[in-house]
Each structure stands twice: as structure tokens, then as C-alpha cells.
């Protein structure tokens, strides 16, 4: 599939009222569509639905951005405790996008506490969007998406993501 980057209006801020899952996904897709090199997502609950099942919808949202001529790389960083169990669709996704997609789980710190509760998306190691709820639940209850405008703060997000990614447990 040949993909040409189009300029889209990416929201600086989006307030998502309850029951606005479609609007939430639309906003997420607009953000993802601005990527030309990388998409990094930090969300501890990315694959959690409940204790018995795992959510793989994010893979369906991401696939069109990997099926392009842009050679975009995607890294999904969740919680080690919430890494998906072996699921056929996840395994197939990772095999198909083998050197372009990866999933890892961050480990708790030495006090067995999470390092963050925040969720965020980093596009091309530059644009950062804070997400007020887990992407899988975005729009179910009131939430928001906020672009980080401050250059130094964006750099801190990118640096922190890299630090967590480098010590995170790979999905296997």
C-alpha cells in the first residue's frame, strides 16, 4: 500500500465527554496519522480488558500505519503485570511487522511501585500527547487528550520513555 502523508488538523486539546469512544478513536487516529518515523505508546493498561481476557484492539488501530511505504516503527510499552498472555493475533501481528513493531512491559521500581500512571503517545520522537485514560477505555467516561507544547517537557517524555523501554521486559 502506497501512503502519502497528508497534513491533518491534530488537536492540541480534546475534551471527551462520556460515551464518546468513536470521537476518542478518531482523535487517536488523527494523532497517529501524523507519524512519519515512529509511534511510541506508554499505557500500562493497553491490553487489559479484565482479568480473563486481553484487549488487542490497539493492534487493529495501528496496523494501517504499519501497512504503508513510510516504514513507521511502533513501540508499545505497557505494564509487565499486564503484558498479554500468548494470543494468536498478537503473535501474528508481531511476526508480520517483525522489525517494525514491538511490545514490552515495564517493571515496577525497587519498592515494587509503578513509575507512572500516565498514558502518552510520542510521535517521531517530538510530538507528545498526554492521554487522560487508557486508550482502550478512552471516551467511555469523561477524559481528555492534551498536546504537550513545552519543548523541554516533550524531551523529558521522550527521554523517560527510552529509559523505561530499555529496561522493560519484551513480550514473548
168 in Cβ contact with 105 (< 8 Å): yes
pLDDT at 109: 62
Task: Give the ranges where 55-131 is alpha helix by DSSP (H).
Answer: 57-66, 88-96
Low-confidence ranges of the chain (pLDDT < 70): 1-11, 48-55, 82-87, 108-116, 172
Q: Are strands 127-131 and 38-42 parallel, antiparallel or unpaired?
A: unpaired
**Helices 57-66 and 21-32, packing angle to 10 deg:** 30
pLDDT of residue 87: 66
pTM over the 0.95 mark: no
CA 163 from centroid of its chain's CA atoms: 16
Residue 29 pLDDT: 92
The pLDDT of residue 80 is 75
- pLDDT at 166 (0 to 100): 94
Amino acid at each position: 500500500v502506497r501512503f502519502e502523508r497528508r497534513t491533518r488538523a491534530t488537536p492540541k486539546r480534546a475534551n471527551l465527554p462520556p460515551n464518546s469512544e468513536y470521537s476518542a478513536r478518531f482523535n487517536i487516529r488523527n494523532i497517529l496519522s501524523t507519524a512519519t518515523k515512529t509511534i511510541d505508546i506508554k499505557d500500562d493498561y493497553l491490553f487489559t480488558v479484565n482479568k480473563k481476557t486481553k484487549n488487542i484492539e490497539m493492534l487493529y488501530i495501528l496496523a494501517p500505519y504499519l501497512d504503508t511505504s513510510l516504514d513507521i516503527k511502533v513501540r508499545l510499552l505497557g505494564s509487565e503485570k499486564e503484558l498479554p498472555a500468548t494470543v494468536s493475533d498478537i503473535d501474528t501481528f508481531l511476526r508480520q511487522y517483525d522489525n517494525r513493531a514491538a511490545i514490552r512491559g515495564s517493571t515496577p521500581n525497587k519498592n515494587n511501585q509503578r513509575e507512572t500512571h500516565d498514558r502518552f503517545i510520542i510521535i517521531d520522537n517530538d510530538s507528545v500527547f498526554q492521554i487522560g485514560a487508557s486508550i482502550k477505555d478512552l471516551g467511555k467516561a469523561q477524559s481528555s487528550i492534551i498536546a504537550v507544547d513545552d519543548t523541554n517537557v516533550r524531551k523529558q517524555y521522550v527521554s523517560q520513555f527510552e529509559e523505561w523501554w530499555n529496561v522493560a521486559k519484551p513480550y514473548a
